[in-house]
Amino acid sequence: MKKLIECVPNFSEGRDMRVIKQITDVIEAVEGVELLDVDPGADTNRTVVTFVGTPDEVIEAAFQAVKRASEVIDMRKHSGEHPRMGATDVCPLVPIANISMEETVAYAHKLAERIGNELSIPVYCYEHAASTPERRNLANNRAGEYEGLPEKLADPKWKPDFGPAVFNAKAGATAVGARDFLIAFNVNLNTTSTRRANAIAFDVRERGRPLREGNPLTGKIVKDEKGNPIYVPGSLKEVKAIGWYIEEYGVAQISMNLTNISITPVHIAFNEVCTKAQARGIRVTGSELVGLIPLKAMIDAGKYFLKKQQRSLGVDESELIKIAVKSMGLDELKPFKPDEKIIEYVLAKRSGQKRLIDLSASAFVDKAASESPTPGGGSVAAYIGALGAALGSMVANLSSHKRGWDDRWEEFSVWAEKGQKLKAELLYLVDEDTQAFNRIIEAFGLPKKTKAEQQHRKQQIEEASQYAIKIPMRIMKASLESMDLMEAMAVHGNPNTVSDAAVGALCARTAVMGAYLNVRVNAISIEDRQFAEKVLKEGAVINANAIQREQEILQKAEKVMEQL
């Protein structure tokens, strides 16, 4: 399993695409790195770039990008709405898969040291990579911006973590960090007033606003015994925010960095800005995502807004995304394209991997009927199981929205969500069963000239064969579990859809029996007989349970139909 980290450098150029391309070209030239997103902003004169890959390769790509930015961007000529202090203003690393934050911090320090030593650019480390608590906050590191660097670098307190304490007039300074996944999120307002936008930003951001004596707008700022301003905290934790006017769109925005979306998700931030804006006589008209967002954040947002409407949350992933986009107005300024903005979709699109479940129904059937050994019985069993879970979810959703059953919508919503989860699992197993077969074929194709090669080949065949049993076992378990949904819907769901619940049970039974046949066939070639017999015994129990449950559900469905 590969270790993956994401890098999201922000470059102080958002207008000249030729300059931006020179920077992104050096990133794409590094093998093992995938450029995911390039998001330039003309008014901010800033471009946010997102790329992901294995750690050493990401560090190399980041260094080359910082180097090229220092060559093609001259900070002496730069102006823009966004705070900045260097050609590469910030360069955060984010752990994505199979890597800890501690490891990511070590890579951040490695990158910062190289930038400082080889490019003579002062580097400050922030967030988890910070050398002191004060430097953890990016805003503290960037205070004074580019224009204040000469004075800042002369202060021993602000000696860079890496690189010389010498003003680099052309490149400025860079902040390198290690942080959790951050969402850059702008909320659009029906005003052109930066001052009013800032007031709302102060209302919501965690830091809040300075405490003043008397008049909260013009009164003297209250300071502590050390002379530091005392702040009145805002309403949202782990949120940084400022207000600005974007001439390109003719609106003011609340520009937010959501630094921990498990504490303040994007939908909560949006709703809170709506509340605070309304209190000031201002209306939110939409929002904008800068860079990428995790799929889970969009799914959670969709469910949040559906719940507010008292509608079932157990709908398809694409529908949840659509609800999230419409509810937050993410497509107000420009189209929101999920395959370009959701990180998992971008990675899947870039991988170029062709999945069986992306085929149309007729194309899948045609492929199953072809001379190709895949998709085989296991994949087809998983597909049938997914159809069964889908029917159960459909009945739950229809029951949730049935007239006169308004007080039961949550009950059916829970069932529909369970069905969607099982459907997703079974759809994943459609392709995974084919991958398991391919692993066996690849293992048999390994060289076998030497004893070492023969032993390695034998081991790989055994491992692949055992994996090829585990996949249909997962199909069996998921399909059997889905029968709980079908039984509940046959008995308690909308009576007019009882036949659909019954067909779902038939599908689940077929999926279990079909997958069990695969388990039995694959078990023949397993050398570890203890493992094989254990799996066969467990499979036989699941198979028998599925046959029994099918009959029970059909009988209950018959009783309901007799009363129609």
Catalytic residues: 82, 433
Three state DSSP letters for 168-234: CCCCECEEEEECCCCEEEEEEECCCCHHHHHHHHHHHCCCCEECECCCCCCCCECECCCCCECEECC
Main-chain dihedrals φ then ψ at residue 451, nearest 5 degrees: -65, -40
Main-chain dihedrals φ then ψ at residue 10, nearest 5 degrees: -115, 120
Q: How many CB atoms lie within 10 A of CB 283?
A: 12
Q: Which residues pair with 47 in a beta bridge?
A: 11, 40
* Residue 329 contacts residue 266 (beta carbons within 8 Å): no
Dist. CA 441–CA 437, nearest whole Å: 7
357 burial type by CB count under 10 A (0-12 exposed, 13-18 middle, 19+ buried): middle
Three state DSSP letters for 36-105: EEEEEECCCCEEEEEEEECHHHHHHHHHHHHHHHHHHCCHHHCCCCCCCCECEEEEEEEEEECCCHHHHH
* Among the listed residues 5, 109, 89, 103, the one whose alpha carbon sits nearest the alpha carbon of residue 48: 89
343 burial type by CB count under 10 A (0-12 exposed, 13-18 middle, 19+ buried): buried
- Residue with the two structure tokens 């080359």: 64
* Residue 220 contacts residue 252 (beta carbons within 8 Å): no
Sign of CA dihedral 489, 490, 492, 497: positive
Dist. CA 82–CA 521, nearest whole Å: 63
* Residue 452 contacts residue 397 (beta carbons within 8 Å): no
Main-chain dihedrals φ then ψ at residue 45, nearest 5 degrees: 50, 55
In DSSP notation, 428-472 reads HHHHHHHHHHHHHHHHHTS--SSHHHHHHHHHHHHHHHHHHHHHH
* Among the listed residues 66, 78, 86, 92, the one whose alpha carbon sits nearest the alpha carbon of residue 149: 86
Dist. CA 92–CA 259, nearest whole Å: 12
What 3-state class would DSSP assign to 192?
coil
* Among the listed residues 200, 197, 203, 277, the one whose alpha carbon sits nearest the alpha carbon of residue 236: 203
Tokens read off for 415: 């069932």
Dist. CA 310–CA 410, nearest whole Å: 8
What 3-state class would DSSP assign to 162?
strand
